[in-house]
Amino acid sequence: MRAVNPSSGELIGEFQPHSRADVHAIIKDTQDTWLTWKASTFNQRSMLMHATATVLHNDKETLAQLMSVEMGKVSSEARAEIEKCAWVCDYYADNAETFLADEPVDTSATKSFVSFEPIGIVLAIMPWNFPFWQVFRFAAPALMAGNAALLKHASNVPGCALAIESVFKKAGFPGNLFRTLMIPSSEVERVISNKRVRAVTLTGSEAAGRSVASIAGRELKKSVLELGGSDPYLVLEDADIDTCTRVAAQARMINAGQSCIAAKRFIVVESMLAEFEKRQAAIMSQMRVGDPLLDETQVGPMARHDLRDELHAQVISTLEAGGRLVLGGKPIDGPGAFYEPTIVADVKSGMSLYHEETFGPVSAIIPVEDTEEAIYVANDSDFGLGGSIWTRNLDLGEAVARRIESGAVFVNGMTVSDPRLPFGGVKNSGYGRELSSYGIREFVNIKSISIV
């Protein structure tokens, strides 16, 4: 397994994959550790999870730099990601016991209640775009619920994968409770099929989700999928144009546009169209693209050259179908996987940027006549992860939000993940939820106990 710096194309390091015998031994050791861990108290788990947050705070600069070098995240965003991981650790350390407390039920029995008990080893198959946050938002609730965890991380961030395992060990968790599996995707089926693995969660592509879901279904194991998104960003007639265009650039360009919940389809009513386009172009044209380790850099490279090639093909296809190039539109010359901040306007149904998820610094502006058409276009997608609505009329914003087919909608704000709110999607964006009280209950045995 190889780690390559996407800013320079230089090889960072090569990592020896685990053999099948290694994997079998790791799973057995993790199972043996879980048999003890599941009897631990919430207080014991909480102390270790708070300690994990402390390790993250203390090692923030080192971990952030690793993230920047392996997948190109700019330093400011990398540091913020580590802080967010610490937040989710503290959140579940403080709230897991309440979320999983027995729930009494009034029946004809002397005593009836519902308990929430750990199920065992949960396999997490995680992507490269938020290499720490994606893992911790799964691991913190899973471990606090009394489960054990195996991580199969993306192949281009092996250093991050091993660093996360080290963070938990440094915090004092049992050494085999959270383990990283250095394996190719071709070995995932074998791990899911192992009888000691009880469930699987995946954040990744639609194709990967279909594959993992079919394997888990065959093995009768619970799965949670957070897949792609093509989030709509609705600009209605009375939107605050100053704020919505400023946030639009941030919502599209965070992590160089490589985010499932980044705003991707900017659906703008005609009365706001010209001003929105002009202002967004002015902001994005001034964004500093370059070395992610430099504090002044706002947009780093894409994670891999092949991903950049796929994005460019989507842009070219849309332009050939009648889209209008406003800004950018091509790879940046040099050794890194950089792509120009790009805006394509006059995007319509039938074009690549209208229907497909775009994972990179490209904005698609879709004109609509009014609010009703904006809602139709927002829902005219195979995805349903997040979305944003911009209007000064908060009652209208709430009414429109209720009609958007997605797992989350933000009125006058960009879509974000927050430990306090459930996170997940509908349609081809997947199923199940992470975060909040809903997320921690995905991988527990919801057991009814009745004492007659």
Q: Which residues are known to be catalytic?
A: 226, 260
Q: Which two tokens stand for residue 293?
A: 């380790």
Pairing label, strands 222-226, 383-384: unpaired
DSSP-derived letter for residue 18 is P
How many angstroms separate the CA atoms of 266 and 283, rounded? Answer: 15
Three-class SS state of 382 = coil
**Structural Rg of the chain based on CA atoms:** 22
Pairing label, strands 342-345, 324-327: antiparallel
Q: Which two tokens stand for residue 117?
A: 């008990």
Q: Which two tokens stand for residue 133?
A: 């946050």
**Selection from 337, 260, 335 nearest residue 304 by Cα:** 337
Q: Could you tell me where the beta strands, DSSP code E, fall in 328-377?
A: 342-345, 362-368
- Give the chain's length: 452
- Bridge partners of 299, per DSSP, are 289
Question: Hey, what long-range contacts does 35-38 have (CB within 8 A, 24 or more apart)?
Answer: 36/174, 37/146, 37/148, 37/174, 37/177, 38/117, 38/118, 38/120, 38/146, 38/147
Termini Cα distance of the chain: 57
CB 167 within 8 A of CB 55: yes
